[in-house]
């Protein structure tokens, strides 16, 4: 039982791992003894984040734009050149777009759908050889998708492509879990509520305490909340969990 939640020695990729929830997860994985790769679009930010996390463990930057198949294949090549297996894939990279319904642009739809949904499928697809190399019947490889409670209820904000994209991620999680179970790969999703991230900052600035007042636990999510859930899903404790969407929202969904 003492190693039930251990991920020490595992190899993980966290996309969007240079900031926000992705950085929280990557930091938790490094502290827990995993060998962690992070990927994000801005090379300087990605490299700086990996250098910072690398002070307490192993973290390697692989910058790329994951909204395109070219960027996805670049990350797969880079990691495949260094690793013979991948134990944990965290599909966290994402974007949002705010705008009124009357003039919401096509670009705001396509950008969010490409990064939030398409990249989840194709990264998982392209990493299947490395995931299968790590997979065992009682120690499956893990795919962890980062959804949102906006994919489980109607958002307060004018982000018309974000909620539908995250709802698609949740259903894709169930589809992939069903198809990959026979390959000993589990697929689960985390659906975060309000977290103290750069993405949330403009909404917090505009709405202030109204957001926190809607959270039964009366606070934003933080480092230990994101890392704890991601470590659980990657650990032996969750080896029999697949096809689930787990809210991480301080009770918002249950109270809505």
The Cα–Cα gap between 221 and 148 comes to: 13
Q: What's 118's DSSP letter? A: I
Q: Are strands 11-15 and 58-61 parallel, antiparallel or unpaired?
A: unpaired
Place of tokens 């890392």: 227
Catalytic choice (29, 37, 162, 240): 162
The residue among 206, 179, 195 whose CA lies nearest residue 252 is 195
CB atoms within 10 A of CB 51: 11
14 neighbors 62 (Cβ within 8 angstroms): no
184 neighbors 177 (Cβ within 8 angstroms): no
The answer to whether residue 37 is catalytic is no
Dihedral over Cα of 67, 14, 117, 140: its sign:
positive
The Cα–Cα gap between 130 and 133 comes to: 5
The catalytic residue positions are 162
């Amino acid at each position: 039982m003492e190693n039930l939640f251990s991920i020490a020695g595992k190899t993980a990729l966290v996309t969007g791992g240079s900031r926000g929830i992705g950085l929280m997860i990557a930091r938790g994985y490094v502290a827990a003894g995993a060998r962690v790769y992070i990927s994000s679009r801005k090379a300087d930010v990605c490299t700086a984040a990996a250098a910072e996390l690398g002070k307490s463990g192993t973290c390697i930057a692989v910058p790329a734009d994951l909204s395109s198949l070219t960027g996805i294949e670049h990350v797969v090549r880079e990691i495949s050149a260094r690793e013979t297996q991948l134990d944990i894939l965290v599909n966290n990279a994402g974007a949002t777009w705010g705008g009124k319904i009357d003039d919401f642009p096509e670009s705001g739809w396509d950008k969010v759908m490409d990064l939030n949904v398409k990249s989840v499928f194709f990264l998982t697809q392209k990493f299947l050889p490395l995931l299968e190399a790590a997979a065992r019947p009682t120690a499956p490889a893990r795919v962890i998708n980062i959804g949102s409670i906006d994919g489980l209820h109607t958002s307060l904000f004018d982000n018309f492509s974000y909620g539908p994209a995250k709802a698609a991620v949740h259903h894709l999680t169930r589809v992939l879990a069903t198809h990959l179970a026979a390959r000993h790969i589990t697929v689960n999703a985390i659906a975060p509520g309000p977290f103290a991230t750069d993405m949330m900052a403009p909404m917090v600035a505009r709405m202030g305490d109204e957001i926190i007042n809607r959270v039964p636990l009366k606070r934003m999510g933080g480092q230990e909340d994101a890392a704890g859930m991601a470590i659980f899903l990657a650990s032996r404790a969750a080896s029999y969990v697949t096809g689930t969407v787990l809210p991480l929202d301080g009770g918002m969904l249950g109270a809505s």
